[in-house]
Amino acid sequence: MKKMTNRLALAVMLGGLGIDAFAQPRMLNLDGAPDLNAEHWYSIQAAGEEGGKPIEVYIYGEIGFWGVTSGDFIRDLKEIDDGVSDVLVHFDTIGGDLFDGIAIHNALRALGERCTGQIDGACFSAGSVAVCGAHKVRMADNAMFMIHNPWTYMAGDSNELRQMADMMDKAFEGIVASYQHRALNIDDAELRRMINDTTWLTASEAMTHGFVDEVFGEVAPLVNNAALGKILNRYRNVPEAALRLVGEVEQPPRPEPEPDPVPNTPEAVELAAKLVADCAEAGLSNCVSYLIKASALANPDAVQSHFNRAKDVRAACLVAKAPDEAQALIEGGLTGEQAKAKLFEKLAAKSGQVEISNLPPVDDAPQAGAHQPPTPSEVYAQRRKNTSKGGNNA
């Protein structure tokens, strides 16, 4: 039996991109590149010549492969750092790669008293690790801070699973040590409990615990992080305030308009008959009534459009091995692409479950060929035949 390696498993989870991101555990894994404005994604501005203006850094988006890596940050900072100017690092991030966050943390810490971290919006996960490397941390009064355990995808044999568990435990210790570089107002046991419980903190709470030194007035956001909001469903106990930061508070659904009454004309009857036949052939017979109402049998193009959408949704469900989901997704008005995204979210939510199987792939098609194994009845028939001839029976 061929074994799926860690690298292959992650490539599958990331849509076949083949990214070598599994060499180290990540506090957050994204399922695609967020579509944010690259101009505001990450930038470093040199210090002003007059008035002692500090070097300003903006880390907005993900920390790691899709956003700013520690290598990007350290290289760019070294190019403009004169060794004396203050450095102000702005954060609005949902997190990312843990070890990139730790490396940025250590780079900020090496700047000493020159460095201030400023939380302008979200500072979650690896972002909270990074900002705690600054000598001083400021936080907007409407921003939010979150700490939690390291998290990763994993596939492999029992030895690899144990090794990864050991690595995750060591990564956890790295998180604890990073937060304790600040003068916290909580002891080691309480810090570990908060990390384990996935703790969300307002600005005042973060300051009370010692993660933040100063709270200041509201800052207008420079970037809309709504494209990253879907990632929050992988965190536990997400408060509404965190959803608001990334524009993910759900709006009440709009009532769907009543479909037009189905006409009772010879043309409509003919369209309905064709739709019934097409649905039966495509395995969509349970959706005939819905498709008739949705299309209102208005014209052949309208009927075909709804039928094609239903086929696309069913195809996505078959690929995801979730055929029972098809009817609900079709009647929910989803397209094939929307159904794929919905199914992927469900798969991602279950990604923490470990499935172990030594069974070969199941082939539902009947076997045929010279090497097909005999059936039990054939074995016993042959034994009876050998016995009647006085042969040995084993």
Q: DSSP letters of 129-169?
A: HHHTTSSEEEEETT-EEEE---B----S-HHHHHHHHHHHH
Residue 32 — very low, low, confident or very high, per pLDDT cuts 50/70/90?
Answer: very low
Share of the chain above pLDDT 70, in %: 62
**Residue-averaged pLDDT of the chain:** 74
Q: Which two tokens stand for residue 327?
A: 């009817």
Residue 26: φ, ψ to 5° = -115, 145
- Please report the pLDDT score of residue 64 as a whole number: 83
Per-residue buried b or exposed e for 238-252, using 16+ beta carbons within 10 Å of the residue's own CB: beeebbebbebeeee
Confidence check: pLDDT of 385 > 90: no
Residue 94's SS3 state is: strand
Confidence of residue 82 (pLDDT cuts 50, 70, 90): confident
What phi and psi values does residue 122 have, to the nearest 5 degrees? -85, 140
Find out whether 146 and 231 touch, Cβ atoms under 8 Å.
no
Going by C-alpha positions, the residue among 171, 165, 67, 169 that lies closest to residue 129 is: 171
pLDDT tops 70 at residue 91: yes
As given in the structure block, the two tokens for residue 243 are 């959803």
What is the Cα 293 distance to its own chain's centre?
Answer: 36
Q: Cα 154–155–159 angle (5° rounding)?
A: 100
Alpha-carbon distances of 343 from 324, 325, 330, rounded to whole Å:
12, 9, 13
Nearest CA-CA partner of 216 in 229, 226, 207, 228? 207
**How confident is the model at residue 193, as a pLDDT?**
95
Confidence of residue 185 (pLDDT cuts 50, 70, 90): very high
Q: How far apart are CA 263 and CA 154, in angstroms?
A: 55
**Are 55 and 46 in contact, with CB atoms under 8 Å apart?**
yes
- Distance (Å, rounded) from C-alpha 125 to C-alpha 104? 13
Residues 182, 161: Cα–Cα separation, whole Å: 33
Confidence bin at 220 (pLDDT 50/70/90) = very low
CB 167 within 8 A of CB 13: no
Q: Are 307 and 275 in contact (CB under 8 A)?
A: yes
- Binned at pLDDT 50, 70 and 90, residue 364 comes out as very low
- Name the residue with higher pLDDT: 343 or 176: 176
Reduce the DSSP state of residue 38 to 3 states and report it: helix
**Collapsed DSSP state (helix, strand, coil) of residue 112:** helix
* pLDDT on residue 270: 85
Please determine, for residue 222, whether its predicted confidence score (pLDDT) is greater than 50: no
Q: Which CATH number fits domain 6-245: 3.30.420.110, 3.90.226.10, 3.40.309.10, 2.60.40.10?
A: 3.90.226.10
Most trustworthy range by pLDDT among 6-15, 129-138, 151-160, 353-362: 129-138
β partners of residue 87: 55, 115
Neighbour count for residue 116 (Cβ, 10 Å) = 21
Sequence-separated contacts (24+) of 211-215 with Cβ below 8 Å: 211/128, 211/132, 211/137, 211/145, 211/179, 211/182, 211/184, 212/119, 212/137, 212/138, 212/139, 212/145, 213/136, 213/137, 213/138, 214/136, 214/137, 214/138, 214/139, 215/138, 215/139, 215/140, 215/141
pLDDT score recorded for residue 235: 59
Q: How far apart are CA 374 and CA 360, in angstroms?
A: 19
What is the band of 245 on the pLDDT scale with cuts at 50, 70, 90? low
Instruction: State residue 360's pLDDT score.
Output: 43
Candidate from 98-102, 132-136, 372-376 with smallest mean pLDDT? 372-376
> HSE on the CB side for 90, CA within 13 Å?
22
Res 271 pLDDT > 50: yes
Return the pLDDT at 354. 41
50 pLDDT more than 80: no
> Residue 262: which pLDDT band, with cuts at 50, 70 and 90?
low
pLDDT for 187 beyond 50: yes
Q: Is the pLDDT of residue 307 over 80?
A: yes
Q: What is the per-residue pLDDT across 308-345, written as a single tens digit (0 to 9) for each?
A: 999 999 988 887 778 888 999 999 888 888 888 777 66
Owner of token pair 């690595």: 167
- Report which of residues 205 and 48 the model is more confident about: 205
The reported pTM is 0.53
What is the gyration radius of the CA atoms in the chain, in angstroms? 29
pLDDT of residue 132: 97
pLDDT, mean of residues 274-288 = 89
Q: What is the mean pLDDT of residues 103-128?
A: 94
Which of left, alpha, beta for 15 (phi over 0: left; psi -120 to 50: alpha)? left
Paired tokens of 166: 């050991």
